[in-house]
Amino acid sequence: AQSVSQHNHHVILSEAASLELGCNYSYGGTVNLFWYVQYPGQHLQLLLKYFSGDPLVKGIKGFEAEFIKSKFSFNLRKPSVQWSDTAEYFCAVRGYNKLIFGAGTRLAVHP
């Protein structure tokens, strides 16, 4: 069965710190991988996506993610976070037809 696991439920950082959020998935076939962000009171917004090609993908707002097929991972990174990055982050995996989300990671960035 298709599943997604996000390792950190809550992350607290100071501004300018580096960020890495872990995401692992299980699925036997070809996958599309996504990271979404949800700011307080808002709906989901796409940060970045991976379908094929270069496993290092760059998204909006300075975020990037690396697909490591051998580890079934798709970790999200940002070199220097800002207070405005405070939000909840969701990893998602689309297998044959279904799009499945991880439980999310709440990021709080302190000034």
Name the site residues for other proteins (rule: CB under 8 A). 6, 9, 32, 34, 43-44, 46, 49, 51-52, 90, 92, 94, 96-104
Q: How far is the CB of 56 from other proteins (least distance, A)?
A: 17
Looking at the Cβ atoms of 17 and 101, the one nearer to other proteins is 101
Looking at the Cβ atoms of 49 and 77, the one nearer to other proteins is 49
Place of tokens 């709440």: 106
Q: How far is the CB of 82 from other proteins (least distance, A)?
A: 24
Q: How far is the CB of 61 from other proteins (least distance, A)?
A: 16
Nearest Cα neighbor of 4 from 56, 77, 76 is: 76
Measured CA to CA in angstroms, residue 56 lies from 13, 18, 53, 67, 70 at distances of 24, 17, 9, 6, 14
Looking at the Cβ atoms of 19 and 34, the one nearer to other proteins is 34
Backbone angles phi and psi of 71, in degrees to 5: -105, 0
